[in-house]
Amino acid sequence: MRTASRHLPRLAPWLLILGALLPLVALARSGGGEHYTSGDRDSGGGGDGVDLYLLFRLLELVIRYPKVGIPLLLIGGLVYYFYNRNVHPTGATRRALQRREADQRTQVSEQDVQGWVRALKSKDPQFEPQVMLDKVRQLFPALQEAWFKRELTPVRPFLSDATYQRFNVQLRLMNDQGVRDAIADIRLLGVQIIGLQQSEWFDSLHVRVRAEMRDTDVPASHSDEQARAAAQKAPPEAFTEVWTFVRKPGVQTRIGQDLYQGKCPNCGAPYKGGAANVCEYCGAIVNSGNYDWTLSEITQGSEFNRYEPAVQGLREARQADPALNLEVLEDRASLLFWKWIDAQSRGDAKWMAQVARDELSAQLGEELEALRQQGKRRLILECAVGAVNTRAFEVHPEGYDQAYVEIRWSARMGLAPAGGRPPQLPTVPQRWVFTLTRKHGAKTNTGNGMATDRCPQCNAPLTSTGANTCTYCGAQLSSGEQDWVLASASLYETWSARGRVPSPAMSRPVDASPVPTGPVQATGTDTVMDLQERERMLYMMAAIAAADGTVDAGERKLLKLCATRWNVSWQNVEMALGAGPQLFNRLIPRGSPEASVFLRHLVEMAMVDGRVDRKERRLLEAAAAHLNVLPQLESMLGRQ
């Protein structure tokens, strides 16, 4: 006993330091975390007062016992660094992980590539992979330059209508935010064919693009020279994208006679461009995919996924319209989405008049007018799409068919004073289902192909005059007599509560998401979407909690528990609480069928590893009470 007591003073500082250090390592669990839509902005969480006390105690002990305290502090610092890097990776670490994931997802064998080339050459003997890749090498810098200069006219003939619309809206939203994208030192490191999907209507060729550039945001007022100078100061970043080109099956390669040589891909006559994207000699729509490859998607390599699920009701819908295909439908849905975003951002429903039912345009117009009367405007910044997936069709032989298209997107969205500075808002994931409607018996216009922003009767480009008819031929457009129009847009939970959920599978890759490399798009995978979905649910709960103007201690404790458990920045959750219901166009009412769907989804995510532990059960119980659907929780857990 005396020996032990004699050494106790020597051991005391070690024990005290360890006692102080261990809670500090655990503090990393309450930190931040970003999902893919938030870019590389690091936002850390805050510690409690006890954590600061322990930190000061540690420093005090280091000063009093430097011989043991300093080495232990160094060891503890290294432990904390590596722990924090893995649990809460920095932007650089996340980018490294994304590059590794991109390499894995886009890796293919030479044998696979040869098989895809043979499949194309069997119908198009003139197709040569190196010629195709040379076109990508030519288009890549042209597209980046057009994005940088904020003028897409030079590359418009190479893009599908929805892709062009998307880039235009994103550029305008950035301008509204007062920024522009500055890029410099663009280097194309390599291109390779990594996939081919063939259907009766389109061949879809996936090309991996590896590149490097310097990229940063600068004030929108900066000249091109000022923007490039600012970009020169940013570190170079390598990235991997997958570019998807579509073309009608059986189209023959016309060597030396295509848009890359300034010629019409159909007749070979000189093509001078123009807003209509139509050859003045033969009338061909050059970006339709009917005559040559058209760029329809750009996907981040880390999120590339080539699988397609079955779509409920598609077979029945094709009995009335054999040419109905998901490539054109989802391009159309993406176009409608960006027009919907554009109309809200501009505060004018006329931008939807030719592509939406009159009732929807009128409703949106009333909402926007009400905001104007209040001296407010709807703010949508950094908007991007993660996935567009057709979920189901409903066929009505005596009336109008419906197509249900789920769109997962994200944005910094809220309300701002008209002409005032935007509030501080987090990037919030959104999950909506767009209901498209069309008269039963109407046929897909195969002549327009991927040119989906056109009058189905005269093929003229759609305008935004505020009229619901075609400017050129007078055809009624908003009724859905000849083409799909938007009938409604609702939260996923609202749609699901109506009993229209065919399948939880979400794996078909489509559409856009922000990356720091110019006009690019990204497609969500199941893993990425799970992370995004957790964050969406957390922000939704925060918005519901703040809807009545007060957030009690129990609600705040639940939100903190979720933020820690799901690795979401508490700083962003605080911003969400401050913004309240304006983060979402709609909110889930407590105790409603939508709230039950929301809870069921939480249970499914908790059960991803096959069981629900005690902490997860407490979280689910608190969430169920928060949503006022607690009695339903046990039955949901029992079904699992």
- Residues 549-569: tens digit of each pLDDT: 788 888 888 888 888 877 788
Taking Cα atoms as reference points, which of 639, 532, 549 lies closest to residue 596? 639
Closest CA to 158 of 172, 144, 148: 144
d(CA 263, CA 261): 6
Q: Are the CB atoms for 194 and 208 separated by under 8 Å?
A: yes
In angstroms, the CA 174 to CA 380 distance is 10
Domain spans of the chain, in order of start: 2-89, 105-305, 307-508, 528-639
Read off φ and ψ for residue 542, nearest 5 degrees. -65, -40
Residue 464, SS3?
coil
> Looking at the domain 307-508, which fold is it?
Nuclear Transport Factor 2; Chain: A, (3.10.450)
d(CA 329, CA 405): 9
Which helix H or strand E contains 169, and what residues bound it? helix 161-177
CB 454 within 8 A of CB 278: no
Contact 349, 366 (CB under 8 A): no
Establish how many alpha carbons lie within 13 A of residue 409's alpha carbon, considering only the half-sphere containing its beta carbon: 27
CB 12 within 8 A of CB 61: no
Reduced to 3 states (helix: H, G, I; strand: E, B; else coil), residue 282 is coil
* Cα-based distances in Å from 98 to 95, 270, 300, 515, 609: 5, 43, 9, 11, 23
Rounded Cα distance, 577 and 556, in Å: 9
Tokens 């809807």 locate to 547
**pLDDT at residue 18, rounded to an integer:** 38
**Distances from the Cα of 327 to the Cα of 317, 333, 502, 550, angstroms:** 15, 10, 20, 46
CB 571 within 8 A of CB 45: yes
Contact 503, 448 (CB under 8 A): no
Angle of helix 224-232 versus helix 129-149 axis, rounded to 10: 110
Q: 163, 160, 245, 161: which is closest to 203 by C-alpha?
A: 245
How high is the pLDDT of residue 97?
63
pLDDT, one tens digit per residue, over 607-625 is 766 777 777 788 788 888 8
What would the CATH number be for the domain defined by 105-305?
3.10.450.240
- Tell me if domain 105-305 and domain 307-508 are identical in fold: yes
pLDDT at 576: 84
Q: What residue ranges of the chain have pLDDT lower than 70?
A: 1-62, 65, 67-69, 72-73, 76-98, 303, 307-309, 419-422, 499-531, 608-609, 639-640
Task: Decide: 512 and 530 in contact? Cβ < 8 Å.
Answer: no
